[in-house]
Amino acid sequence: MEVDKLSGKKSLTKKESNKLYYSEYLKKTDFMWLYELLKVDEPLDFQRIPIEKRAVFSEFIEDLLFKSSDEWVQTKGPNGNLIDDTGEDKANRKKCSLCNTPNRYIYYIENIFNKQKLNIGSDCINEFGSIANSSKESLQSVKKNAKRQRNLQKLLEEIPKVRTSVEKWNNFIKDLPILISENDIKTYKLLGEKANTFYEEILNSGLKENLIIELKKVIEDGKYEQLKINEKIRTISQREFILTTNQAEWIKSHQPDNFKTVKKYIIESQDSQISLICAPLIAEINFLKEFTQKYNKIAQVDNIKIIELYNEWRRNLISKEQIKFEQELPNIIQIKANKFIFEFVTLKNIRFSVSSSNFIKKLGFLVFPSKKTILDSSDILNLVVDSSLADEDSYEAFCSQIEWTVNKVEKDKRFNFFKVNLQRDYADFRVFINSYTDANGNVEYKYSYVRYKLSSMYNTMKCILIKRNTQLLLEFLENNHVNYFSENQYKADQNEELELYKMNR
């Protein structure tokens, strides 16, 4: 067949020759013979193709060029970019790996089989199919950014540090030492939005005198607002229950579910202060310390009268009916793992434990502004219902207070607290039966022992004890015991318990 009668391509340009040479496709097909004819940066003339291969070459060369494109993907160049803009200076331009032409815009591609990397110019990138489409979109972005950079450099000559001023506008708010209400920063944020609008318009469209004047004015107005906000910070920092930025970060880290709510209420407030509605959500230690200090001062003053009456009652100068024991405010004595440990002056050595959230919900109205201003008769009782005792000593003190209260009216001090066992969940009382004098004149006393389920006793009697209802305390002691022992039986029980303890050590 004569050469001029062949259809299709009859030669390869330098660009096409390079493209096939750097690919792997020819090496894995029946076209290895063609690969061996290729040389870097040299076109392939039809006369160099063996006569017996020319028909095959003309028929398949377009398909070979197309399929070799699929071996390549975009990659990052030396500067970490998919596309490099080498600038307007022609001396800095890079050569395209396919055509050797210096290009301002250079794409980087990599062969997925042999990892060969190529620098490709903006014209030759069209040789690589799908890469070309995405690359052209990237190029538009590069050109846009280049234009913005040129405009920025010019703008910096007109307004020094303008980039920092506008792009980091809201950093001023983030760096404030306290969480401040939206009302106090609203004007500053609106100015920031205006500054960004002028800034973007200048970078995208070029420097216009009216835009530069407006941007300068907005930046100066922003600086004035910063002074006003700083003065506001100095003022409100003297107030109680202001949430610092460090405290806010702690809540965000340790109480993420509560953080959005706390932040919402503070920034929507008029005075940037923590309110009763969000205070129970905060477990940050410095806030709890501040609350404790303020609350305890209030409790100390409010309890003066009831403590005076309590002391008179102890000396039997007045009756229990003259005192509302359930209106004594407890004193917070310790903050422990998001809990308050509290006690009542009139209940010696009994330490209660409740979540700080629950305590603030019940009694926070005494500290924070609220529609409620007066303690209800059930407030303290409800707090105690939700509380537990803090330690074993408190259970013993609880039983001792029951004994003391009952024996104020019970003749012969009949019920005497004897022992608590938390592990086995019981409390024992010794009950006086009678006394007699032997032949030598010695007085002998006879006792029995009654046992109660400790958890049931506490849950049933804690509010009764708060109110000093002696009759109900007595009824419980008389009717709710789970076991009854004579002195000999009780001694045997205690010996058995001791032996079991030794065996299980």
Kind and range of the H or E run holding 446: strand 443-453
Given the structure tokens 């209940």, which residue do they identify? 347
* Residue 28: band (very low, low, confident or very high) from pLDDT cuts 50, 70, 90: confident
Kind and range of the H or E run holding 158: helix 129-158
pLDDT for 475 beyond 90: yes
pLDDT digits (tens, 9 = 90+) for 368-387: 999 999 999 899 999 999 99
pLDDT digits (tens, 9 = 90+) for 438-459: 878 888 888 999 999 999 999 9
* Residue 285: band (very low, low, confident or very high) from pLDDT cuts 50, 70, 90: very high
| CB distance 431 to 448 below 8 Å | yes
User: Bigger pLDDT: 395 or 151?
Assistant: 395
Q: Could you tell me the two tokens for 212?
A: 């530069």
pLDDT digits (tens, 9 = 90+) for 3-14: 444 455 678 888
What does residue 37 show for φ and ψ, rounded to 5 degrees? -85, -20
Residue 48 to residue 54: CA distance in whole angstroms: 10
Residue-range domain boundaries for the chain:
14-145, 159-238, 389-504
Alpha-carbon distance values, 130 to 48, 55, 171 (Å): 32, 29, 42
Q: Could you tell me the two tokens for 408?
A: 């104020």
Q: Could you tell me the two tokens for 241?
A: 């229950």
How high is the mean pLDDT of the chain? 90
pLDDT digits (tens, 9 = 90+) for 48-80: 889 888 888 888 888 888 888 888 888 888 888
pLDDT digits (tens, 9 = 90+) for 336-360: 989 999 999 999 999 999 999 999 9
Residue 115 to residue 22: CA distance in whole angstroms: 10
Residue 4 to residue 58: CA distance in whole angstroms: 11
Q: In terms of Cα–Cα distance, which of 46, 68, 66, 67 is closest to 57?
A: 46
Buried b (16+ CB within 10 A) or exposed e, 407-442: beebeeebbbbbebeeeeebbbbbbbeeeeeeeeee
